[in-house]
Amino acid sequence: MPHLPHHSPAALPLIDLPGPDVTVRRLRHPGRWISGGIVLLLLAIIVRAFAVGQIQWTVVGQFLTAGVIVTGFGWTLLISACALALGVALGFAFGIMRLSENPILRFAAWLYVWIFRGTPVLLQLLIWFNIALVFPRLYIPGLVDERMVDVVTPFVAAVLGLGVNEGSYLTEVVRGGIGSVDRGQKEAAHTLGMTPGQTMRRIILPQTVRLILPVLGNSAIGMLKFSSLAATIAMGEMLNAAQRIYFINGAVIELLFVCAVWYLAGTTVLSIGQYYLERHFGRDAATATSDRRGFWAWARRPAARGEA
């Protein structure tokens, strides 16, 4: 059967083909413009509502740099930093214990995670703050013998509460990081004659840091925000300072907004730091495909699971 050329009204004869420089018109996306317009409109409505609402913006500006607030923010930063340091130390200690050959050490680490990850951090803060009710005196022979209320100040309670709680999360992260370094490298280290301690310090832990770092960035951001819970145990950090001011002058929402501005500033700085830290540690070795998209693209990435 002869092969007949197929003719349809849509067929484009060769003779009508355009030249190589033909103009290309992109498909229009009217839907995107419409949805974008709606969102912008809603944003404008919200902004206007706050602008004309019952807020005295001059008061916000006035208290933004007030001495008490700035000092409070200093305490916020100090609590966060100390608690994060404590959390990291505990996370590594218990994370390593979690994988110990010794079943009792493994159990102790499991118990730690079970208790401190299984109860609300606010509750833990309140318990640390009131620990003197259980142990009126802190007595370690030859070292300390003082009233508990003098030792566990609101600051100490805040650092303990937030740090011990964070440590229970980081324990699991460290455990996962250690587990992800393949067993072969550990065996190679052993055949070179490296002791378990040397292998952990020089081979395993350096490789887990890269995995743990992004989590630590999220921890730092979360910690900055969670430190506001210390306001409930009479710790004079920023939120507590703001509350003490608005109890007197009644500018409740203004002072809360002042806090929001400072927290946002803090978390933004931490996000930028996290970006550069990750980029620095991602640069060498294994993760060869380094992230060159720049900070803003990175910042708008979908949030990681568990990001606070």
Partner 1 sequence: MSLAVKAVGIRKSFGSHEVLKGLDLEVAYGEVLCILGPSGSGKSTFLRCINHLETPNGGYVWVDGAIMGYELNRGALQELPVKRLRAQQSQLGMVFQHFNLFAHRTVLGNVIEGPMVVRGLSRDEAEARAMGLLEQVGMAAKASAYPSQLSGGQKQRVAIARALAMEPRVMLFDEPTSALDPELVGEVLEVMRNLARGGTTMIVVTHEIGFAREVADRVVVMIDGEIREMGAPQQVLSDPGDPRVRSFLSRVLA
List of residues contacting partner 1 (CB under 8 A): 182, 184-185, 187-196, 198, 202-203, 206-207, 210, 284-286, 288
Closer CB to partner 1, 190 or 244, in the complex? 190
SS3 130: coil
Closer CB to partner 1, 281 or 295, in the complex? 281
Closer CB to partner 1, 43 or 285, in the complex? 285
Residue 45: φ, ψ to 5°: -60, -45
Beta strand extents in the chain (DSSP E only): 137-140, 144-147
Minimum distance between the CB of residue 181 and partner 1, rounded to whole angstroms? 8
Separation between Cα atoms, residue 119 and residue 124, nearest integer Å = 7
Tell whether the torsion through CA atoms of 47, 48, 54 and 57 is positive or negative: positive
Minimum distance between the CB of residue 92 and partner 1, rounded to whole angstroms? 17
Contact 163, 222 (CB under 8 A): no
Closer CB to partner 1, 137 or 280, in the complex? 280
Contact 184, 193 (CB under 8 A): no
Minimum distance between the CB of residue 218 and partner 1, rounded to whole angstroms? 23
Residue 232: DSSP 8-state: G
Contact 76, 228 (CB under 8 A): yes
Closer CB to partner 1, 102 or 191, in the complex? 191
Minimum distance between the CB of residue 206 and partner 1, rounded to whole angstroms? 5
Minimum distance between the CB of residue 183 and partner 1, rounded to whole angstroms? 9
